[in-house]
Structure 1
C-alpha cells in the first residue's frame, strides 16, 4: 500500500516470533514425516540391522538370493529315508574291503580283522607276511584319527546340516578318488609283492580308504541309524536275531529289521562285485566304482528334503 512505501518494516512482536517459530517447526516436522514414510527403513529380505546410509549398494539386488542360499545350505535335512545312502555306503564298504584284502592282504574298512592281524604280529605271524601287523596298525590308527576328525568337524558345523553332510561325503569321495588315481597311474601296485617287507605306497592308499570309512560310520551315528554301522557286520547280525519282532508282519512294521537286512545284503553284494571286478577288470575299476557311488551320495545331499 502507498502508506508503507519507503518505510521500514515494522518490528515483530514476541507473539509474532513465537507464531512464526511454531509454523516453521510444524512444517519441518510434516515434511520429515512424509520423507520417512516414503523411504523404507529396512530391506524386505534382509535379516541384518537397518542400513545407516541411503547410498545405493551394488549387491542389494543379490541379497534375496544370497540369503536364500545360506538358509538352504545351513538348514537341517529331513532324516526320513536317509538310511538309503547309508545302505549304499555298506555296499561301498563290502566292495572296498574285498578289493583291499584280495590285492594287499589286509582290510581298509573292517578293522576287526586288522586288530587280529596286529595281535598275530606279536608272535611273528602269519609266516608269509611278517610285516602285515604294521600295515594293519597304520590302518587302525588312521581310522581312529578319521573318527575324531569327522565327529568334531560335524559337531562344529552342525551334525544334521545339509552343508555338513555335503562336505563330509565330498571329503570321502576325494579320498577314494586319490586312491583310485594312485592305482590307475600304477604308482601303487595292485598286487602284493611278498619280496618286499612293506610297501609304503600301498600303506598310503589303505590309509586314504581307512580315513574316509570313518566319515560314513560317523554319519550313521549322527543320522541316528545305529543299526547300520556301514563298516562292520558282526554286531548287525547279532542285533538282527536279538530282535523279538524279527518275523513281524507286515513288512513295514519293523523298519530296523529291514535296515539291517538291507545293509547286510548290500555289504555282501559289494564283496561279490569286488570279486568279479578283481577277476575281470582289476583293482582300479573297483575303486572307481566306489568313488562314483560316493559322489552320487554327495550330490544327493544337495537336493535332499529339508527338515520342516
Structure 2
C-alpha cells in the first residue's frame, strides 16, 4: 500500500509491512493461550460476604498448615481489611503459623494513613496473634526501586518450605486476596502500564501511580498467577460497573488488568455481594453467543 496522493497533495509512503504478525513491535500485553476457569460466589450482603471470605481463609490456612506447617496470606489494600475482621477472636485458627505479605504497598512510612501495613495492622493484624516477624512490611525510607528490591529479598529469604517455588522458579503463595479498582486495576498494576507486562521480576517499583501516592511497590503478574489460590473480593454498589465489565466484556489485553489474573495451576474465585453483582447477567452466561462480548 502507499504511493497514492494524500489530501495534502503529498505522495503516501509505501508500506514496509511484511504482513500480520511479521516484524513490527509486538503488543506488550497478551492473554494466555489456554482457557482458565473462575468460580463466582454471590453473597446477599457485604457482611455475609465477609463471613464467607473468612471461612475460606481459615479453611485454606488449616489445609496449608497440615500440609507444610505454615500458611502464606497476601493482602491488598482498601476495604479488604475490614472484611477480614470476622477472623478476630475466631477459635481453632493457628495464627502462629501464618506469614502475611502485601501484594502491593505504598512507599510511605508505616505510620502514614496511606500505608497498607498500617491499615491492615490497625484493623486486623494487630488483633490476632501472628508473630510480628512473620508480617512482611515494606522497608521504610528507601527509594522506591530499592524498596521493591528489598521486599523481593524478604521473600527470597523466607524458608522454602514456607514459600516453595514452582517449576519456573516463582514463589507459590497459598492465598492472595485482591481488590479491584474502578479502572480494573489489581495490586498496583494499572491499565496499560508497563509493569503489567513484566515477567522477570517478583516485585516491581511503580513511580507514576494514577492514584496517589505515586510511589508504590507491587508483586508482578507472574507471581500473582503462580499462587495456589486467588480470591478477588468486590463488595458494594461502587464495584458493580467494573465487575460487570471484567466478567462479561472482553477488553483488549492490558485495558482491564483484572482480566489477566489467571492462575497457572491454582484456583480463582470472585467473591461478590448482591450490590456488586447487580449488573451481571448470570443467567445468560451459558449462552456462548452472548459471552464473551466486546461492548
What is the TM-score normalised by the length of structure 2? 0.26
Larger relative contact order (Cα-Cα within 8 Å, sequence gap ≥ 6)? 1
Structure with the higher fraction of residues in strand conformation: 2
Structure with the higher fraction of residues in helix conformation: 1
Larger Rg: 1
